[in-house]
């Protein structure tokens, strides 16, 4: 996707949020500032609990208000570089996974955030997050799929994913991970 296409998609999402929930981004920003909440998750919960906002819109809105969304930084490579500061040993695993995901088709979109990279097709099907200095988490969206093998239920780890795979050693970046990711890619199309 081109940068112009991504910017247009973001504008469409913002317009849809404003239409669905009846307030401008500026009004939502005021609500969040008055709440005096500082943590991302707390703000998302406020929007969901007090304003009946879906998780996707609440998460996007908090990123916009905090300027932590991918569009807030022109150079998305900076976001990825910052994610792997003091976690450099995980970066080659990330690179291997991204290389494989990009081979699935030319419609893969990477959208780096501050803490993770969202992987999209028509919708998000995965995220890749260096969660600790020694573990890379791969979040995957798979409907109607029971946990099996290295695929576990995401639980409270990330509400934007149904499953998670923990990568703790180089050997964990394997065909099973790629197969789960490809299945999620197929479902997202």
The verdict on pTM exceeding 0.75 is no
Q: What is the pLDDT of residues 53-94, one digit of tens each?
A: 988 888 888 888 877 655 544 456 788 889 999 999 999 999
Q: In what order do the strands lie in the sheet with 136-140?
A: 109-112, 117-120, 124-130, 136-140, 163-167, 152-153
Residue 112 has pLDDT above 80, yes or no: yes
């Amino acid at each position: 996707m081109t940068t112009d296409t991504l910017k247009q998609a973001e504008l469409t999402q913002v317009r849809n949020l404003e239409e669905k929930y009846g307030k401008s981004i500026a009004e939502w920003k005021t609500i969040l500032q008055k709440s005096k909440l500082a943590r991302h998750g707390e703000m998302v919960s406020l929007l969901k609990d007090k304003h009946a906002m879906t998780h996707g819109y609440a998460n996007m809105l908090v990123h916009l208000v905090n300027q932590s969304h991918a569009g807030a930084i022109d150079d998305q490579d900076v976001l990825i570089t910052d994610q792997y500061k003091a976690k450099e040993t995980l970066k080659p695993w990330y690179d291997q996974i991204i290389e494989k995901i990009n081979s699935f088709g030319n419609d893969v979109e990477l959208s780096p955030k501050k803490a993770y990279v969202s992987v999209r097709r028509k919708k998000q099907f995965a995220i890749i997050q260096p969660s600790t200095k020694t573990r890379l988490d791969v979040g995957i969206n798979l409907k109607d799929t029971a946990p099996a093998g290295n695929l576990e239920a995401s639980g409270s780890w990330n509400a934007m994913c149904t499953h998670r795979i923990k990568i703790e050693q180089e050997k964990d970046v394997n065909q099973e991970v790629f197969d789960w990711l490809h299945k999620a890619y197929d479902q997202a199309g």
